[in-house]
Structure 1
Amino acid sequence: MEVATATEASAPAASGAAARQNHPFPWLDSAISEPYYFLHLLAFFSYFAARSAALSADDGGELHDRLLRREIQAVLVFLVLFVVKIVKEETWETFLADSLLYAKGLLLAVTLVINYWLTLGYFLGFVVIYAVAQQPPYDGLGHSNHLTPLQLESLLTEEPTSRFWLVEFRTSFSATCIQASSVLPELSNIYSNKNISFGIIDLGHFPNAAAKFGISMWDHLPTYILFDKVTEVARFPEVTSESKVFVPKVTKKLLCQHFDLDRRLIEYLST
């Protein structure tokens, strides 16, 4: 009964993801339908209107040359950072977040050539966007399920078909959680079997569960815990004084090594 409930809870997200994948231009659909991306597009396109107005008011033509040089420099810097991020980043959400951050910084640098007040206006505009809109998380689930704490407890104590459960505890208001939101679903596509299952609990909906599992709502999110039936056998990040100073970025490779998922898969396949 609990497994069916968990699967039903994941159905709306799965159908939404399928609808976007069937869209002929999914990136355009996201850019228009998601306020976070739409507001950023408006902000960036508004630069061309501000640029035209500034150049039309320039009598000597000096602004045009200085602005063009600064724009070329900004585009070249962005392209270099863009290529570096493509090579280094593992998740699309992190890549988009970092690319937008660099683009906003370079836009502010370019607008300094036109007018300091214009730069201040864009800065305040980006602050407002940050306050009213949020980057959407990855909406696919793979072979993982959205769970409630009660469902997880029932699955750990009553479900005999899966010995291990790897559970991600996240919140929808954490940028780190959003940027890592595709990691667990992608791992579940690779490693999910009758011996290990994957689940996601949103602590924003169940804040009381944070204390139960020893998780801080403000530090170390997302947190991943591997359960062997009802026993916690490993977690990331580990609760140590050192981990509070530095927590490495969540990646599929990092979690795979930390929880030894390759060995668990081999053991399952050899039985």
Structure 2
Amino acid sequence: MSFIKDFRQLLKPYYWINILLSISYVTCKRTAVICNFLFPNTDCELDSRETEILFFLIIVVMLRTRKAGSVTMVNYLSASFVYTKIANLILWFYADIRYGLPYGALVILCALTLPEPTYIGPEHVTYFRGLQTLDEELKHHKGTTWLVCLYAAWHPACVNFAPVFAELSASYSLDNFKFGKLDVGRYPDVAAKFRIQDGPTSRQLPTLLLFTEGQEEMRRPQPDNTGKLQKFLFSKDNVKAAFDIDGIYQKCKEKLATSKNKKTD
């Protein structure tokens, strides 16, 4: 099922066009008809310099995607597109500046006209208006598990994470498992209470807080034993894994079923 979902995602223009751009040089150089047309009087083989560039690209992509925490095929591709296109740009310029310039212009044009697809659909998110509304909710409904996103509307990382959080809320929201957001830019007392730096250079935005029984159980990103903030990639898969969203959803669903059975009895 996951493979089918990834395959459907790859059919979107952003992905297959970027895949073509990422393999353009090797494909042209290794296809005899195209190679003889673009590179007459040369062997249709990769020379030592081109091979070095490609090996360096492979190493960079592996390191960066591993550091980013990519866990699906689409994640790997999205994380590697920038590096593969830069490598292809270098290869095209290395071969001939007349090919490098149009390729660079094409990459820029695609970047401007084909942004990476994001989730556009329903959401089940409660927007809290200040610290008091959050405290009241946690105090009076302790049986509800909350995943709360502290964000700032002007922060780029928060803007990028918004569709991911909305998609999670649409998929996992229950009567006793809810999703909320609170703008620390508008309510700085929230940032103060939860020890969140809300400045332009803050690495704590967004911050996800999991509340069970009215108390904070965990958060991401979080500091390590030395107090240093641990980096966290706010992708859908990473959030699901870090907070065990599937496990929480199943437990909350079982509690709802149990409470309904008691009422009917």
What does the per-residue CA deviation read over 1:79-103, in whole Å, with 9 as the maximum and x for residues that have no partner? xx69x969x7335663332131342
Distance 1:128 1:91, change over 3 A: same
Tell me the CA shift for residue 253 of structure 1. Answer: 1.9
Distance 1:211 1:108, change over 3 A: farther
* Matching residue within 31, 40, 45 for 1:65: 45
Which range moves more in the overlay, 248-257 or 130-139?
Answer: 130-139
Tell me which residue corresponds to 1:5. none
Q: Is the 8 A contact 1:66 1:113 kept in 2?
A: no
Q: Is the 8 A contact 1:226 1:233 kept in 2?
A: yes
Q: 1:149 corresponds to which letter in structure 2?
A: F
Q: 1:196 corresponds to which letter in structure 2?
A: F
State TM-score, norm by structure 2: 0.53
Tell me which residue corresponds to 1:238. 222
Tell me the CA shift for residue 235 of structure 1. Answer: 2.6
Tell me the CA shift for residue 114 of structure 1. Answer: 1.0
Tell me which residue corresponds to 1:18. none
Alpha-carbon distance in 1 for matches of 2:121, 2:131: 20
Matches within 5 A, 1:165-244: 165-169=146-150, 174=156, 178=160, 182=164, 185-186=167-168, 189=171, 192-200=173-181, 207-209=185-187, 212-213=190-191, 214-216=196-198, 218-227=202-211, 232=216, 234-238=218-222, 242-244=227-229
Alpha-carbon distance in 2 for matches of 1:118, 1:175: 35
Distance 1:236 1:129, change over 3 A: same
Aligned to 1:90, the other structure's residue is in SS state: coil
Tell me which residue corresponds to 2:77. 96
Q: 1:166 corresponds to which letter in structure 2?
A: L
Alpha-carbon distance in 2 for matches of 1:61, 1:132: 35
Alpha-carbon distance in 1 for matches of 2:73, 2:132: 32
What does the per-residue CA deviation read over 1:135-181, in whole Å, with 9 as the maximum and x for residues that have no partner? 3333456xx52443339965763685963321234569746874795
What does the per-residue CA deviation read over 1:176-199, in whole Å, with 9 as the maximum and x for residues that have no partner? 874795478458745x44332123
Tell me which residue corresponds to 1:149. 128
Alpha-carbon distance in 2 for matches of 1:126, 1:247: 30
User: Structure 1 stretches of 5 or more lacking a match?
Assistant: 1-20
Q: Is the 8 A contact 1:165 1:199 kept in 2?
A: yes
Matches within 5 A, 1:100-139: 100-115=81-96, 118-119=99-100, 122=103, 126=107, 134-139=115-120
Aligned to 2:81, the other structure's residue is in SS state: helix
Alpha-carbon distance in 2 for matches of 1:38, 1:207: 38
What does the per-residue CA deviation read over 1:34-90, in whole Å, with 9 as the maximum and x for residues that have no partner? xx6587478569869x9799854644224x33479948x959x76xx69x969x733
Distance 1:54 1:175, change over 3 A: farther
The percentage of aligned residue pairs carrying the same residue is 18
Aligned to 2:146, the other structure's residue is in SS state: strand
Higher relative contact order (CA 8 A, sep 6+): 1
Q: 1:165 corresponds to which letter in structure 2?
A: W
Tell me which residue corresponds to 2:262. none
Alpha-carbon distance in 2 for matches of 1:94, 1:187: 20
Tell me the CA shift for residue 254 of structure 1. Answer: 1.5
Aligned to 1:65, the other structure's residue is in SS state: coil
User: Structure 2 stretches of 5 or more lacking a match?
Assistant: 260-265
Aligned to 2:209, the other structure's residue is in SS state: strand
State TM-score, norm by structure 1: 0.53
Which protein shows a greater Rg?
A: 2
Q: Is the 8 A contact 1:162 1:197 kept in 2?
A: no
